[in-house]
Structure 1
Amino acid sequence: MTHSVRSRLGVLLGSTTPPEQIGKQAAAAEAAGFGEMWLPEDYFFLGGVAGAALALGATSRIPVGIGVVSSVVRHPALLAMEIGTLARAYPGRLIPGIGHGVPAWTAQMGLTQRSPMSALRETLTGVRALLSGETVDDEGRFATFDGVALTHPVPEPVPLFTGVLGDKGLDLTGKLADGLLVSALAPVEYVRTARRKLDAAALAAGRDERITISVLAAANVTRDPGQVATTREALKAVLAFYLAATGPGPLFAAVGANEVLADMLSRGGPEVVAAEMPDDWLDVFGIVGGQDAARARIGEYLDAGADNVAIATVVADGAEETLAAVGELTGEFTH
């Protein structure tokens, strides 16, 4: 990125952030010392590209990531044009993330793909070729290009991240992408396995560069020791909601939690998960409690192979305190 020493701690702006507050919050994150910030493109909350433009315009140094756009919502040529516009205006500061998209959301737009992996592969290769100044002629399973070239290609390579979970996606990332944005609720064990799989895929593809891993972490942190119990309780309800909404999958399989979660969900929704989840799930799937607990957990993610950890303030009432508490740690984790 544009400056050599930056914190390995980042921040995610929630998708419920009112658009008119994005610039102010981005400036505050930069001033607090965070090393990167991510904006989601959750349909139908905030536009990721427009949101990134607002954040970049309100800041001067911090890299801004889009985490993540669905590969099936925009044609790769349109996505490349949007990325190229921002990457040239703010050199070295844009980190575009591309994933499959939440199936329920893409289905609402009639954009369900028979082969989501083909769409992701064609988007990554098409976007990269166009950004580097190539003319693309290709007819794929998802996208057709007929002599497409960008008028404003980008002189420096733009790091393309993916937001994927399963083994096929990790393999594709290791072969074609520059980084992986790991979804919130990822246990350290998942990150450790993903690091190994990415490295193996990159090696098999003859690539010698390290694939960057940025982990999004659901966090509720306090500087007040007397508030630790309250902080944990507040995170429990939010985690229960996300666990129920997500259901069993690769993240939870990493710690053998799928069977327990499936059993809970067979008997109800978030309320059952909240009532029955083991207390240590808060520490496995989030960063919670006091600053010492947060410091230790962040260290575990970095030791497992993550390059950056971005805090997602998922508890509305605790967001300000969480950012302040973690913000005080940014200087301890630099690279």
Structure 2
Amino acid sequence: MTEVNARPETRVGAVFVPQLPPERLRSVAQAADQAGLDELWLWEDCFLESGITSVAAALAWTDRLTVAVGLLPVPLRNVAITAMELATLHRLFPGRARVGVGHGVQDWMGQVGARAESPMALLREHLTALRALLSGERVTTQGRYVRLDGVALDWPPPQRPELLSGATGDRTLRLSGELADGTILTGGTTVAQVRRARGLIDEGRARAGRTDYHRVVVYLHAATGRDASARMEAERVRWGYDTMDGHGVAGSAEQVAEAVRAWAAAGADTVVLQPTPDDPDPEGFLAFAAREVAPLARS
């Protein structure tokens, strides 16, 4: 990509947290679709629920909803399989899937015997090969981790889809700017950290000579309803924050929308509301995000 794109309108998404059982996904996805939610995000967290199976099911159960996976851990995946799965998704559901790849949680990767000695080298090789395969190229490479011999997709997508990368550390943020089309930032990322991430991403983009627009996605802890503050306090303890100020928001639609606007002003293009695992009404939370928060956030 070489053309310069204007910054898009802020999008508001929400997470189907994998602490919910897989059989709950259908009703949640359909509620998101009916409410007009911009994006429904899924996680491939060990050892809860898979990403590709879930996103394919959610897309099949809905009509217009964009369904995203953030993210697929590359140590678990041969890049050819990743390319085949993404190409199939984008041919079956054109324009409705967003998928990111990343290091994965290193302790989990160690549990399954897949921890890489150099996660950075692995991610660089995976992103490079995945980008080429999804572009319809025939790829031969003998890297430290990625080795392909004349591999090409028989059914590549009609055009290369957006490729996202998860990133937190400085080197990974620069790498994402260099090789990915967008970056996923983890829940708990502060406004200041979003601004700093944008700067590091831009360093990578400049190094690669990229002028296309780079989209940034950030998860934002959010809760609403009578017990929102108590549930958010439990999230603070769970994630080890000193305070939830700057990491999340609990309250009314206007309060949540104000937070979305703050994170968007710092450089996030998609703000994905991350509900508490014990939210009493996941379907209602998605309707809240779509019908109440999103219009206020964009006003």
Partner of 1:265 in structure 2? none
Deviation at 1:7, TM superposition (A): 6.5
- SS of the aligned residue for 1:284 comes to coil
Q: What residue in structure 1 maps to residue 229 of structure 2?
A: 232
Q: Which amino acid aligns with 1:297?
A: A
What is the SS of the residue equivalent to 2:279?
Answer: helix
Match of 2:293 in 1: 329
User: Out of 181, 188, 192, which is 2:191 matched to?
Assistant: 188
The TM-score, its normalising length taken from structure 2, stands at 0.92
Residue 284 of structure 1 deviates from its aligned partner by: 1.2
Mapping of residues 86-235 of structure 1, within 5 Å: 86-222=89-225, 227=226, 230-235=227-232
Q: Report if the CA contact (8 A) 2:17-2:277 is conserved.
A: no
Cα distance in structure 2, aligned partners of 1:209 and 1:112? 33
Aligned residue for 2:278? 316
1:286 aligns with 2:248: yes
Partner of 1:299: 261
The higher-RCO structure (CA 8 Å, 6+ apart) is: 2
Aligned to 1:241: 238
Q: Partner of 1:240: helix, strand, or coil? A: helix
Q: Is 1:17 aligned to residue 14 of structure 2?
A: no
- Cα deviations by residue, 1:22-63 (Å, 9 ceiling, x for unpaired): 222112112222111111000111110001101111112222
Deviation of 1:318 after TM superposition, in Å, equals 4.2
Per-residue CA deviation, residues 129-157 of structure 1 (Å, 9 max, x unaligned), is: 11111111111111110111111111122
| 1:60 and 2:24 are equivalent in the alignment | no
User: Aligned equivalents of 1:217 and 1:318: distance in 2?
Assistant: 18
- Pick closer, same or farther for the CA change 1:162–1:60 going to 2, 3 Å: same
Which SS does the other structure have where 2:224 is aligned? strand
Distance across 1 between alignment mates of 2:30 and 2:9: 16
CA contact (8 A) 1:130 1:149 kept: yes
Q: Distance in 2 between matches of 1:176 and 1:186?
A: 22
Query: How many residues are paired up?
Result: 290
- In 2, the alpha carbon distance for the partners of 1:329 and 1:314 equals 17
The higher radius of gyration belongs to 1
- Give yes or no for contact 1:313–1:319 (8 Å, CA) kept in 2: no
TM-fit CA distance, 1:210: 1.5
Corresponding residue of 2:43: 40
Deviation of residue 317 (structure 1)? Answer: 3.4
Output the CA distance in 2 between the equivalents of 1:285 and 1:111: 31
Tell whether the 8 Å contact from 1:232 to 1:282 is kept in structure 2 after alignment.
no
Amino acid at match of 2:293: L
Give the % identical residues: 36
2:209 is matched by which residue type in structure 1?
A: G
Alpha carbon RMSD of aligned pairs, Å?
A: 1.8
Q: Which letter does structure 2 place at the counterpart of 1:236?
A: E
| Residue identity opposite 2:245 in structure 1 | D
Q: Does structure 1 conserve the Cα–Cα contact (< 8 Å) formed by 2:55 and 2:68?
A: yes
What displacement does 1:333 show? 3.9
Aligned 8 A contact 1:220 1:318 in 2 = no
What SS does the corresponding residue of 2:98 show, helix, strand or coil?
strand
Q: TM-score, normalised by structure 1?
A: 0.82
- Answer yes or no: is the 8 Å Cα contact 2:66–2:98 preserved in 1: yes
- Kindly report structure 1 stretches of 4+ aligned residues shifted beyond 4 Å: none
Structure 1 counterpart SS, 2:272: strand
Kept in 2, the 8 Å contact 1:131–1:154? The answer is: yes
